[in-house]
Chains A and B, each alone.
Chain A
C-alpha cells in the first residue's frame, strides 16, 4: 500500500453525471441505473448529446471529468474541462495529433491541473517487473517487439467510429507508453506499413464470416465497407539506436483463445525477457465457449462474502494513480508540475501521439506507393519539434 493511503483515506468520491452521445441507445440511463443499484440515494444524472460534456460541465461543475469518448473525440472535452477548472482522467490514446497533444499539455500546465491518461499496462505487475529491471538485467536493449491484437468484434460491432481511428492508435499506444516510460527513449525515425483487406471489403467478407459461423448475415451490426486498417506494423528507431517493432490489428477471430493477444519481448545484449499478457497460465474449457486463457490481473472481480463486488487489477490501478495525483493537488497542497512524474501525465504521451500521427501518414503513403508499384519507400524523421516525412522522388 502506498504511504499516501492514510492521507487520502477519507476523501469521498461522488459520481454526479454521466453523458453519452446518442439518446436512442439509452446508454447514459443504463449507467445511471448501474450506479443506483448500489447507491440509490446518490443520483447520477444521465445526459445525451454530441458535445454532452459542455452541458455537464456547466450544470454540475464537477471537480473531475473522466473522458471515455471515442479516440478521435478526446481532445475537445479535455480542453473544455481544463477551461472549466476540472482535473481530467482520459482513456487512451490522449489524442490523435501532435497539435492536439501540445494544446492539452499547454492548457493543463497553464491551468495547473492534472491530465492523467489511462495507460494501464504500466501498472501490470508482470510488465513492470520485466521493464523496470530490463536495463539492469539485460544490458543495453537492442530491440523491443510488442504485439497487441484486438478481436474483430471491436472494429465491426462495438465501435461505430473505427473508421476515425486505427488499431495502432487504439492499442499500439499502450506498448509505446510502456517502452517510453520504462526505458526513457526518444523516437527519432518511424517506418510503417499496413493492410486493408478485411474491413475495407467488409460488405463482402461479412457474408463469408456469417456463413462460417452459421449465423444470419443480418444479425451483424455492420454490413458495409469500413474505411480503416485491418492491421498496422510500425518500426520505431530510438535515440539510443534501439528498434521498437509494434504489431497491431483489430481483426483477431472471436474464436481466439484469449480476450486479446498481447505480448512484449525485450532483447538486450546480456539477456532477454518476454511477457505473454493474454496467457498467464490460467486456461479453462467451458461447454459452449471452448478453451480460453484468462487474465484476471487486468480487471478481476471479487464478490465479498455477504457484500459488494469489487474490481481489482492493473486496469483499476491506472485510474487510481490519476485520482491520487488529483487528491494530492487538491488536498495535500502539491503542485501539478511536481506531480507530473507520478502518473501517466499528458506530457508523457506527447511522443506516443507523435508516433501515432507519423505512422498513420507513413503507412498510408507506403500503401499508395505499393499499389502504384513503387515499393514502400516512405518513412519519417522525428526531432523534438517536428515530424519530417521522407518520401524519395
Chain B
C-alpha cells in the first residue's frame, strides 16, 4: 500500500479498535510490530 497523504492520521471513522500488546520478544521484531504499524496507518483491508 502506498503511503497515504498523512501517514500518521488514519481516515476518520467512528469505528475504531484499541489494542494493547503484552510481550515484546522475537515475534514482535519479526512481524507483530510492523504489522500493527501497517494497521495504524491503513487498517487491515490492504492485508485482506
Q: Which residues from chain A sit less than 8 Å from chain B, CB to CB?
A: 1-2, 4-6, 8-20, 27-28, 30-31, 34-35, 38-42, 52-53, 56-57, 60-70, 77, 91, 118, 120, 154, 158-159, 298-299, 301, 304-312, 315-317, 319-320, 323-324, 326-327, 330-331
- Mask, B7-48, CB within 8 Å of A = 1, is 110110101111111111111101111111111110111111
- If the complex has contacts A91-B23, A307-B7, A324-B48, are A14 and B33 also in contact, measured as CB distance less than 8 A? no
* CB pair B15 A10 closer than 8 Å: yes
Per the CB 8 Å criterion, the residue count for chain B at the interface is: 40
Within 8 Å by CB of B22, from A63, A65, A159, lies A65
* CB pair A159 B32 closer than 8 Å: no
Q: How far is it, in angstroms, between the C-alpha of A12 and the C-alpha of B41 when the chains are bound?
A: 8
- If the complex has contacts A307-B2, A310-B38, A315-B30, are A13 and B20 also in contact, measured as CB distance less than 8 A? no
Question: Could you jot down 5 A-B contacts, CB within 8 Å?
Answer: A11-B44, A12-B16, A18-B20, A31-B33, A159-B26
Q: How far is it, in angstroms, between the C-alpha of A1 and the C-alpha of B17 when the chains are bound?
A: 21
Output the nearest chain B residue to A39 by Cβ-Cβ distance.
B8
Q: Which residues from chain B sit less than 8 Å from chain A, CB to CB?
A: 1-3, 7-8, 10-11, 13, 15-28, 30-41, 43-48
* CB pair B20 A19 closer than 8 Å: yes
Q: How far is it, in angstroms, between the C-alpha of A67 and the C-alpha of B39 when the chains are bound?
A: 17
Question: Beyond the given A11-B13, A13-B39, A15-B40, could you list 6 further A-B residue pairs with CB under 8 A, ordered by the A residue number?
Answer: A11-B17, A14-B16, A63-B17, A91-B23, A154-B26, A311-B34
A-B CB proximity, top 7 nearest: A307-B3, A68-B23, A2-B48, A315-B31, A69-B23, A62-B20, A311-B34
Within 8 Å by CB of B41, from A5, A38, A65, A299, lies A38
* CB pair B20 A57 closer than 8 Å: yes
* CB pair A64 B35 closer than 8 Å: no
* CB pair A20 B11 closer than 8 Å: no
Q: How far is it, in angstroms, between the C-alpha of A320 and the C-alpha of B32 when the chains are bound?
A: 11
